[in-house]
Structures are given as structure tokens and as C-alpha cells.
A and B are shown apart, each in its own frame.
Chain A
């Protein structure tokens, strides 16, 4: 299965990468806990966490009046698998393209 585009989009933002790292380091976190050390508003952190949750990179659970997030890195593994497979396929296709160019040049210079 290929990963959803959301994994890449979610981690394209540097603030979200920082938030993902914080959640991973802490094991779990809420927007209220992360806002002060990151120097951004609780609302901004909550928005970023929601994007990470949509990408399935964190799991959201209500805890009283707050939402607590835990890291669920499986989609990252899927993304890396996808990039390795697709990248390997392109390495082969581009090698074929290089051979094609060499063949055409050899053909061209012989006529």
C-alpha cells in the first residue's frame, strides 16, 4: 500500500516536525504542554497536532477537557518503504534511459 500524501505534507512543515519530535520524546503530550516550550500559542499547536493526527502520525485521545496525543509512527515506516521501492524503480528506469541514449549515439555516429 502506498502511504497517503498526508504523511509528506504533515512533515513538510518545520514546526510540525518539531511537534512530532516533542510528542515522540515525551511519549505523549497535549497542546497545553507543548505550547510554552515551543513558544507558540496553544491554538497553533492544536492545529498542527490535528494535521499530524489526520496523517495518522499521532493518535488523539480525549482526556477531560484536553486532547492527549501519542506517537504512532507506522505511516512513517510505510512512507520510507514506499520511497525505497519507488526510488529503486526509478534507478532502474534511469539506467535504462542512459543505455538508450548511449545506443542512439552509437547508432547515430555509425551512419
Chain B
């Protein structure tokens, strides 16, 4: 598993807006080599998705937003899921 945590100097709703900004999504997902399926989307709180490249086993990404005194802590957890087996279909 890969884990990353950062703190953004804005509240969770603003963090969520930045996160779902088309400009950013283009940078994150715009390479055109990846497919993704959203498992759960809870605005301002949680985003869970699965993504994979053609012919490769995929991985599951969990992104959590938590309000902290300095703003919002963004936690990313990505774990490989083995053979993808059309689990997202």
C-alpha cells in the first residue's frame, strides 16, 4: 500500500472543490491510459475509486478529507487489488 497525507489551508468543502476542479482532474486522470470506476463519493469527506491500465491489475484508491485546525488533512491510500477480474464492471 502507498500512503500520503498533506494538509491544505482551506476547509474540507473548499478542498473538495479544488479536488474536483476539471483542471485538476485533467492533470490527475487526463493521460488517457487509465480507466477508473468510482466506488463511493461523499463530497467534502471521502472519495473511493478503482483504477487500472489496460491489461494490468488495478488498484483501489481511498481519499479522505478531515477538518483539522490548520485546514483539511487529505489522506491518500492506494492498494493493489490483484487480477482485476472486471470487478468494477
- A, B assembled together: yes
Interface residues of B in 10-45 (CB under 8 A from A): 10, 14-15, 17-19, 21, 23-24, 27-28
Q: Which of chain B's residues has its CB closest to A99's CB?
A: B24
Count, A-B residue pairs, CB within 8 A: 65
B28 touches A93 (CB 8 A): yes
Say what secondary structure dominates the interface of chain B: mixed
With contact pairs A83-B2, A86-B59, A87-B2 given, residues A101 and B80 touching in the complex (Cβ less than 8 Å) = no
Interface size class of B (residues with CB under 8 A): 20 to 34
In the complex, A82→B6 CA distance in Å?
Answer: 21
A90–B2 touching, CB < 8 Å = yes
B6 adjacent to A100 (CB under 8 Å)? no
Please provide the chain B residues from 34 to 73 with a CB less than 8 Å away from any CB of chain A in the complex: 56-57, 59
Q: Does A8 contact B1, Cβ atoms closer than 8 Å?
A: yes
Closest Cβ neighbor of B29 among chain A residues: A93
CB of A41 within 8 Å of the partner chain: no
Interface residues of B, Cβ cutoff 8 Å to A: 1-2, 4, 6, 8-10, 14-15, 17-19, 21, 23-24, 27-28, 56-57, 59, 74, 76, 78-82
New contact pairs (9) apart from A5-B79, A8-B1, A87-B2, CB-CB < 8 Å: A86-B78, A87-B4, A90-B4, A94-B4, A94-B6, A97-B6, A97-B74, A100-B21, A104-B17
Q: List 6 A-B contacts (CB under 8 A).
A: A1-B57, A5-B81, A83-B1, A94-B74, A96-B28, A100-B19
